[in-house]
Amino acid sequence: MHSGIPKVLFYCANRYLVRSLSTESPRVRFAPSPTGYLHLGGLRTALYNYLFAKSRGGSFILRIEDTDQTRKVEGSVEGLKRDLEWAGIECDEGPGFHGDCEPYVQSERLDFYKEHISTLLDNGTAYRCFCTERRLNIIRRDAIRSQRTPKYDNRCRNLSHEELKEKMESGAPYCIRFKLTSDCQTFEDLIFGNIAYDVSLNEGDPVLMKTDGFPTYHFANVVDDHLMKITHVLRGVEWQISTTKHLLIYRAFGWIPPKFGHMPLIVNADGTKLSKRQSDVKVEDYRNNGVYPLALVNYITLSGGGFDHVPGSGVRLKTMEELAEEFQINKISSHPSRLNPDLLAECNRLEIKRRLKDSALSDDLVADLKNLITKTYPEHKLNLSDEHVQSVLNWAVSRITRIDELVSNKFGFLWILPTTKIDVDQPLLKKLVQNLEDLEKFDQNSLKHNLKSFSKANGVNFPVLMKMLRSTLSGLDEGPGVAEMMDLLGKSQSLERIKAIVR
Catalytic residues: 276
The full DSSP string for 160-225 is -HHHHHHHHHHT---EEEE---SS--EEEETTTEEEE--HHHH--PPEEE-TTSPBPHHHHHHHHH
Q: What is the dihedral of CA 366, 367, 371, 372, to 10 degrees?
A: -30
Q: How many CB atoms lie within 10 A of CB 16?
A: 8
Question: Do 101 and 68 meet the contact criterion of CB atoms below 8 Å apart?
Answer: no
From the DSSP assignment, how many helices (H) and strands (E) are in the chain? 19, 13
Burial 155-180 (b: 16+ CB within 10 A, else e): ebbebeeeeeeebeeeeeebbbbbbb
Question: Do 76 and 36 meet the contact criterion of CB atoms below 8 Å apart?
Answer: yes
Q: What is the dihedral of CA 391, 394, 395, 399, to 10 degrees?
A: 140
Question: Do 81 and 113 meet the contact criterion of CB atoms below 8 Å apart?
Answer: no
Radius of gyration of the chain (CA): 32
Collapse the DSSP code of 371 into the 3-class scheme (helix H, G, I; strand E, B; otherwise coil) and give the result. Answer: helix
